[in-house]
């Protein structure tokens, strides 16, 4: 009976600790800076060139094969050009997004082949949505040994080097300017 009471008393403490760890990990993930220029750099220039050529080829295909040939297509010509550019641009954007997912998955330490196939085969862009919801944070490098590590790690698994400042008492991640640990309230030494 007493053991059961101890277990029941420990459950809220364990839940709070797990919640704190999850919140800490989520804070680190949300600290990841989003820079659209860096994300666009993941797409190789060859893929962009192929996308532009695809738009031109699609426009040519529409005019030569699908649209009827008329001697005086003055009113319909701008609409045909617009339809060709829009549909070709959507197709090119889809291809560039598939290339981005492939490169981004590699950068994040995920299985790039699996995610590329998934975004291609799952209809209605649901594969892309799933990828952007479940993708891992960008992998980081250990400043000491150069090993690839998950950003949520406090210590490098190869050389035990501290990757983030941590509380000396509870060993949870803290911010550089903190005076007290937000988790155990122990006083932190002022960094010089």
pLDDT tens sequence across 94-131: 999 999 999 999 988 889 999 999 999 998 889 999 99
Per-residue pLDDT for 75 more than 70? no
Per-residue pLDDT band for 74 (boundaries 50, 70, 90) equals low
Contacts of 130 by beta carbon, 8 Å cutoff, 6+ apart: 118, 122
pLDDT digits (tens, 9 = 90+) for 134-159: 988 887 788 888 888 877 777 888 88
Cα separation, 21 vs 171, in Å, equals 11
Q: Is the CB of residue 80 less than 8 Å from the CB of residue 32?
A: no
pLDDT at 111 (0 to 100): 92
Domain ranges of the chain: 35-136
Where is mean pLDDT largest: 23-27, 28-32, 114-118?
114-118
pTM of the entire predicted model? 0.63
Cα separation, 132 vs 169, in Å, equals 36
Q: Is the CB of residue 172 less than 8 Å from the CB of residue 158?
A: no
Phi, psi of 141 (to 5 degrees): -110, 140
């Amino acid at each position: 009976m007493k053991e059961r009471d101890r277990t029941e008393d420990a459950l809220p403490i364990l839940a709070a600790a797990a919640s704190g760890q999850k919140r800490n990990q989520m804070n680190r993930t949300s600290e990841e800076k989003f820079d659209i220029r860096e994300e666009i750099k993941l797409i190789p220039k060859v893929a962009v060139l192929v996308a532009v050529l695809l738009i031109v080829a699609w426009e040519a295909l529409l005019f030569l094969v699908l649209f009827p040939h008329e001697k005086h297509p003055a009113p319909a010509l701008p609409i045909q050009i617009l339809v060709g550019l829009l549909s070709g641009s959507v197709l090119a954007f889809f291809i560039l997004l598939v290339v981005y997912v492939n490169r981004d998955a590699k950068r994040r330490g995920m299985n790039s082949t699996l995610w590329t196939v998934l975004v291609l085969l799952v209809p209605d862009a649901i594969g892309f949505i799933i990828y952007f919801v479940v993708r891992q944070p960008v992998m980081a490098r250990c400043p000491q040994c150069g090993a690839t590590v998950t950003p949520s790690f406090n210590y490098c698994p190869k050389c035990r080097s501290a990757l983030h400042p941590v509380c000396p008492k509870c060993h949870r991640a803290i911010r550089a300017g903190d005076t007290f640990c937000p988790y155990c309230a122990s006083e932190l030494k002022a960094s010089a």
